[in-house]
Amino acid sequence: MTAAYAIQQYLPDYTLIGLRSWDEFIVASPDGTLLTVPTVPLDLHHAVAFALPERLTLEPDLGFEGKIKWYVKPLVFGGDATDTANTVWIAHEQHAGLVRWWNEQYLALKGSKPSD
């Protein structure tokens, strides 16, 4: 999944560990430090230290199996997390494509290249 989300393009030498709260990635730095970073923008300026819980219990919701929550208009672009019309459930492959596309838009607006 690190490759599918182009993590190396935006966070060189970081590894994708998982997803937290639907709109943050958990990543490991080159020295093994865990951080959360928004899916959009994938920018270390927004990274926060993270520790995995000692005990984690997950219960599947079959109605959303294989799906990830996505904001049609990402929050960094003015999307509203409380607006149900801004929320859709999409397949993992589609999520990876949208994360890459929106991060490209973010960088274009910011006027920088990945990892700047």
User: pLDDT tens across 63-101, in order?
Assistant: 888 899 999 999 999 999 999 999 999 999 999 999 999
Q: Is-above-0.85 flag for pTM?
A: no
- Number of separate domains in the chain: 1
Kindly indicate the confidence band of residue 116, based on its pLDDT and cuts at 50, 70 and 90: low
Whether the Cβ atoms of residue 3 and residue 16 lie closer than 8 Å to each other: no
**Residue 95: count of CB within 10 angstroms of its CB:** 21
Residue 44, pLDDT score: 92
Does any domain span residue 23?
yes
Does any domain span residue 34?
yes
Indicate left, alpha or beta for 103 from its phi (over 0: left) and psi (-120 to 50: alpha).
alpha
User: pLDDT tens across 4-52, in order?
Assistant: 999 999 999 999 999 998 889 999 999 999 999 999 999 999 999 999 8
What is the span of the domain harbouring residue 44? 7-51+62-110
Does any domain span residue 1?
no
